Amino acid sequence: MREGNFIDYVKLHVSSGKGGSGSTHLHREKYIEKGGPDGGDGGRGGHVILRGNENLWTLIEFSFKRHIKAGHGGNGSKQRSTGADGDDVYIDVPLGTVIRDTDTEEIIDEVTYHNQEVIVAEGGMGGRGNWHFKSSTNQTPRYSQPGIDGQEKNITLELKVLADVGLVGFPNAGKSTLLSVITSAKPKIANYEFTTLKPNLGIVKYRDYQSFVMADIPGIIEGAAEGKGLGYRFLRHIERNSTLLFLIPCDAPDVYKQYEILLDELRRYNPELLDKDRVIAISKTDMLDEELKNELDDQLQKDFKEIPYVFISSVAQLGLMELKDKLWEILNKDPEG
């Protein structure tokens, strides 16, 4: 998906370097009549290596560079000199990048921390020079090994946004507005559906100079797990959030039904998403008077039971500190508690 500078899915063709050939050389020197074999080994071919970089957040670098090749190893030479290794190619990718073999769909690895290195195509080994093959019965071998070819692969890079809290909700639920109010992020905001076409990240400042990361995931609609709307292509970003914040406007026809639809879409996409911690934020509550708010509160206590919920208004800045407190409490709870 591409929106502006945000790209979260690319396909690449990578080629590692070929190993250098071993040398077939017999030692020749003025005062040494039969120096014997002294051909050196070939150098290793270069690897193609993916490296995690915490300063990146998109795969835009690969928009116009889809073929990546590493250097070939140098050939061996006389006096058992080993050929130079081929130059490795390092590809920096954002944290949260899944590396998949395009042809088999098998996951090769995942990049989850800074400076993590994953070799996706190993360089070929260099061939052995003829001095390895000398023996009492073959004192002047006139052969050596060729270098081994490098690997060629088609790989797919799939970015899954890493964040502490992921915002989940229907289009136009107010997710972008909330993110813009409690972080310094500047997502696109408008009074129509699907204004957000890419995940947006923001850092939420908390008490005592602490913070956590929140991600605004583009709106999910009913049937997103079957590919309807925009939700399906962004559901994978929710997989990496430790806590899910469901944002449901107070003027929804049925708040609990909207929550169940959202939850069902997550379950159909990946049942493991239901194991994540959840918090409900009832948005736009500045539209409610005290009586309506109390009525809604009574109903939500019956519906949500053990799931925590908070009344908020991003525009009027109501309940935001309470929401931060609740999220911080869940993010830092004892896993064994």
Phi, psi of 265, rounded to the nearest 5 degrees = -65, -40
Which of 137, 159, 181 marks a domain boundary? 159
- Helix or strand holding residue 100 (H, E): strand 97-101
Binding site residue list for GTP: 169-176, 194-198, 216-219, 283-286, 313-315
**Is there a single domain that holds both residue 175 and residue 323?**
yes
Same domain (yes/no): 312, 191: yes
CATH number of 118's domain? 2.70.210.12
Residue 102 vs residue 231, higher pLDDT: 102
Q: Is residue 1 part of a domain?
A: no
Percent of the residues in the chain that have a pLDDT greater than 90, as a whole number: 38
> How large is the average pLDDT for residues 219-230?
49
Residues in the chain: 337
Binding-site residue ranges for Mg(2+): 176, 196
* In the block, residue with structure tokens 């590809």: 91
31-59 pLDDT, tens digit each? 777 778 888 999 999 999 999 998 887 78
- Give a yes or no: residue 147 inside a domain: yes
* Residues 237/166, Cβ–Cβ less than 8 Å: yes
Q: Assess whether pLDDT exceeds 70 at residue 282.
A: yes
d(CA 76, CA 126): 9
Residues 129 and 196 both lie in one domain: no
| pLDDT surpasses 80 at 267 | yes
Q: Number of folded domains in the chain?
A: 2
For tokens 């493991």, the residue is 272
Query: What is the average per-residue pLDDT within 221-239?
Result: 55
Provide the Cα torsion 228, 229, 234, 236; round to 10°.
-10
pLDDT band at 131 (very low <50, low <70, confident <90, very high): confident
Tell me what pLDDT residue 327 has.
92
Using alpha carbons only, how large is the chain's radius of gyration in Å? 29
* Claim to verify: residue 155 and residue 169 sit in the same structural domain: no
11: helix, strand or coil: strand
In a shared domain, residues 206 and 130: no
Torsion region of 4: left, alpha or beta (phi above 0 gives left; psi -120 to 50 gives alpha): left
> Which two structure tokens, joined as six digits, stand for 25?
């050389």
* pLDDT tops 60 at residue 297: yes
Cα separation, 319 vs 285, whole angstroms? 9
| Tokens 């409490």 belong to residue | 329
Is 0.75 surpassed by the pTM of this model? no
Nearest to residue 181, comparing CAs of 252, 279, 283, 54? 283
- Antiparallel, parallel or unpaired: β 48-52 and 117-121: antiparallel
Strand partners, 51: 92, 117
Domain that residue 212 falls in = 165-332
Which amino acids are annotated as binding site, given as ranges? Answer: 169-176, 194-198, 216-219, 283-286, 313-315
For the segment 222-240, the average pLDDT, to the nearest whole number, is: 56
pLDDT digits (tens, 9 = 90+) for 164-210: 888 888 877 778 888 888 876 564 444 434 444 456 777 888 888 88
The CATH number of the domain where 206 resides is what?
3.40.50.300
| 183 and 328 in a common domain | yes
Same domain for 184 and 50: no
pLDDT band at 99 (very low <50, low <70, confident <90, very high): very high
Burial of 109 (0-12, 13-18, 19+ CB in 10 A): middle
| Per-residue confidence (pLDDT) for residue 192, from 0 to 100 | 36
pLDDT at 5 over 60: no
User: Mean pLDDT across the stretch 311-318?
Assistant: 90
The residue written with tokens 């990496």 in the block is 240
Question: Tokens representing 108?
Answer: 């090769």
Residue with tokens 């005592």: 208
pLDDT of residue 111: 92
The strand pairing partners of 310, in sequence order, are 281
| 128 or 221, higher pLDDT | 128
Q: How far apart are CA 87 and CA 116, in angstroms?
A: 19
Phi-psi region of 141 (alpha: psi -120 to 50; beta: other; left: phi over 0): beta
